[in-house]
Structure 1
């Protein structure tokens, strides 16, 4: 059984059309059709119902789908095993900067212990940049803040609460709780202009008729955190971004009245139609932990 035919079948199932599958596989539509027809001839069954631009699985196609997924996954795992013997396997991971700085260092040692011959290449950037790399097949999968796109599958890993963080000796540390009015009187550092998180913070001030004292706006939370560490202002940041700084008393969370109830969602993303691998399973389990 030709593995490329199996792959074409799964792409058509996931994307819902031969044209979209051809685009994702960088093939022509007739090439994808030929692969499906070859698979149908080999098994003497009809896999798809075709009516104009609409494509749907037949009853036998529905039955075959989970088996095809297992075949492709087994093939990938076998290929990985052979590559372990002969050449190092390179796994390319895309990650948002804050995740690569604050989360992955706690996971990668365990990964290298389990997959000793796998060579990891880590590409970092803004979540939108990593999304594009996943779509363009520049990385095997990505770990980013939530980004929606029709060409990817996404799995929610966790929701990370946002809080107000200040440097040591800040006057807010003498208060039990602070209000949004209090925050408006101090230099504020915001990240990721136009994002849902940015809009939420602005809404806090807008609801009170307050103009925030924005000292700087930057394009990522790591830069915002470092500016707070330098004493240039205060910032609303997710918990994973400041975990080490809190442990070493370099940054402190300030309680607010009323409490802020918002999160940054962290997702695991991969190209639609691509079967999950043992590597994806490992990272998902560790991130959930």
Structure 2
């Protein structure tokens, strides 16, 4: 069904004249007449009674009029909504610091390639800070370690394993079998008190009735990694945080016996009600949810 024909029908109904409808639509009167006739042929019914220059709605026309209004309104709402979604000038992304340093450089080129004309602004902070910025609409969406809140929805980007990492030459690298008891005797660097990562690791020790030797506790994993690089201790860290250091041989992964599986989620979070955003749809198309 042609939306221009429906628009012409509504204008004629509201203005009571083909000529007035033509003026309002910046068309000629024959063009409006042709649109009405096309709509009548498509619906196989007469919408107007014509008596010279006077017109009036037929019974079928009166029945169709409110439906035509709804169709046009739905079309205009959808068109406006798509313009708002498709044509933003700026995209504000909130990101946890470690994700900004280690994950965004691999994601941003693809986003920029898809939305080349959109100016992007990156804001970093603690995952909880980014969550608050999403809720307060300071950023369009956030990329964080799992944070839950009734006002936000999330898309799982990927599951990030947590492993034990040590600097080069560490004694644990020479042991054929490393147990959790061995790890508990080493100076440990913990980070981000109260976070899911922190809770996972503490639960790991408490469930095995081991009191870890916590040498240092810092407020973010980037600091923990840098202290680890300086030989200040060993640390359980998410894989994404140490990817570059592993590749360069600056840090090494230590497998535990028995094997222990821990991981965190890297999520894209956004305010509820923004699920129609083209950016959200872009991420939904890239990742399984």
| 2:162 corresponding residue in structure 1 | 162
Residue by residue over 1:105-163, the C-alpha shift from the partner in whole angstroms, topping out at 9 and shown as x without a partner, is 11222333333322111001111100000000000011111111111111122111110
| 2:135 corresponding residue in structure 1 | 135
Measured on the aligned residues, the alpha-carbon RMSD in Å equals 2.5
Normalised to the residue count of structure 1, the TM-score between the two structures is 0.69
| 2:97 corresponding residue in structure 1 | 97
| 1:48 corresponding residue in structure 2 | none
Q: CA deviation at 1:72?
A: 5.7
Q: 1:257 to 1:71 in 2, by over 3 A?
A: farther
- How far apart, in 1, do the equivalents of 2:232 and 2:287 lie? 32
- Secondary structure of 1:107 counterpart: helix
Q: Does 1:234 find its partner at 2:242?
A: no
Q: CA deviation at 1:177?
A: 3.1
Normalised to the residue count of structure 2, the TM-score between the two structures is 0.69
Kindly indicate whether the alpha-carbon contact (under 8 Å) linking 1:73 and 1:277 is maintained by their aligned counterparts in 2: no
Kindly indicate whether the alpha-carbon contact (under 8 Å) linking 2:158 and 2:266 is maintained by their aligned counterparts in 1: yes
Q: 1:123 to 1:223 in 2, by over 3 A?
A: same
Kindly indicate whether the alpha-carbon contact (under 8 Å) linking 1:69 and 1:275 is maintained by their aligned counterparts in 2: no
Q: CA deviation at 1:199?
A: 2.2
Q: CA deviation at 1:196?
A: 2.9
| 2:250 corresponding residue in structure 1 | 250
| 1:35 corresponding residue in structure 2 | none
- How far apart, in 2, do the equivalents of 1:101 and 1:67 lie? 43
Kindly indicate whether the alpha-carbon contact (under 8 Å) linking 1:268 and 1:284 is maintained by their aligned counterparts in 2: no
Q: 1:199 to 1:68 in 2, by over 3 A?
A: farther
- How far apart, in 2, do the equivalents of 1:179 and 1:149 lie? 37
Greater shift in the superposed pair: 135-144 or 266-275: 266-275
Large movers: runs of 4+ above 4 Å: 66-73, 283-288
In structure 1, runs of 5+ residues without a counterpart are 1-42, 46-59, 61-65, 81-88
In structure 2, runs of 5+ residues without a counterpart are 1-64
- Secondary structure of 2:87 counterpart: helix
| 2:216 corresponding residue in structure 1 | 216
Kindly indicate whether the alpha-carbon contact (under 8 Å) linking 1:178 and 1:257 is maintained by their aligned counterparts in 2: yes
Kindly indicate whether the alpha-carbon contact (under 8 Å) linking 1:176 and 1:255 is maintained by their aligned counterparts in 2: no
Q: Which has the larger radius of gyration?
A: 2
- How far apart, in 2, do the equivalents of 1:224 and 1:251 lie? 13
Q: For this pair of structures, how many residues does the alignment match?
A: 219
- How far apart, in 2, do the equivalents of 1:262 and 1:69 lie? 46
Q: Does 1:74 find its partner at 2:74?
A: no
Q: 1:248 to 1:208 in 2, by over 3 A?
A: same
Q: 1:157 to 1:220 in 2, by over 3 A?
A: same
Residue by residue over 1:226-258, the C-alpha shift from the partner in whole angstroms, topping out at 9 and shown as x without a partner, is 110111010001111111111111111000012
| 1:13 corresponding residue in structure 2 | none
Kindly indicate whether the alpha-carbon contact (under 8 Å) linking 1:155 and 1:269 is maintained by their aligned counterparts in 2: yes
